[in-house]
Amino acid sequence: MTILEPVSEVDVEVTVNGRSHRHRVAARLLLSDYIRDTVGLTGTHLGCEHGYCGACTVIVDGDAVRSCLMLTVQADGAEIRTVEDLAPEGASSLSPMQQSFHDNHALQCGFCTAGILMTLESVDPTDWSEPERIIELLSGNLCRCTGYQNIVAAVAQAWNSEGDV
């Protein structure tokens, strides 16, 4: 919807994990803060808030994006998925990738994990399952605990490629 007169607040309508939300938000509200504070889904973590760490990665209309580098008003009309969508409340099991992270000890503190899972969820594994491609894919998400070896192993196992890289 076109907005020609400058405004400081905007009405937005977004779908988050299949549920639609309408809010009037400040133009300056970051999507990351909207997801956490307005919608109340705190699985999305905020690390650096300037696009460096990737902890806040969510999926917007199918693409992995940094939610701290997107304004809520830019997501108007979009379909957003967050980590809460991978194993919804009441689900009896984790998603296969989450289970593989668990099995491979691919997280320690877990702060970066939501962003990594959403990056992985956004891509077609057939394009990314080679070990070198997995490493390239993970380069946009910082992890300070694991040294990445176990994350790569978890991804490789979940996508049925060779685990030893």
Partner 1 sequence: MKPAPFDYCRPATVVEAVEALGSAESGRVLAGGQSLIPAMNFRLTDVSLLVDIGHVTDLPGVDTEVAGVTVGATATQSRVLNDDDAARVVPGLRAALRHVGHLQIRNRGTVCGSIAHADPAAELPALAVAAGAVIGITGPDGHRTVAASDFFLGPFWTALSDAEVVTEVHFPAAPVGSVTSVDEISRRAGDFAVAGLVAVIEVGDGAVRSARLVGFGVGGAPARLASAEAAMAGWAPDHPDRRLMEAAVEDTADAFDDIHATAWYRREAVATLLVRAARRALANGETS
Q: Residue numbers of the site for partner 1 (CB under 8 A)?
A: 1-8, 10, 26-28, 30, 33, 48-51, 54, 57, 63-66, 68-71, 73-74, 119, 123, 136-137, 139-140
β-bridge pairing 79-81 and 9-16: parallel
Residue with Cβ nearer partner 1 (103 or 125): 125
Nearest by Cα to 71 from 1, 115, 14? 14
144: nearest Cα among 107, 101, 118: 107
Minimum Å gap between C-beta 3 and partner 1 is: 4
| Burial tier of 77 (Cβ tally within 10 Å: 0-12, 13-18, 19+) | exposed
Compute the least distance from the CB of residue 60 to partner 1, in Å: 8
Judged by beta carbon, residue 65 or residue 86, the one nearer partner 1 is 65
**Shortest distance (Å) from residue 52 CB to partner 1:** 8
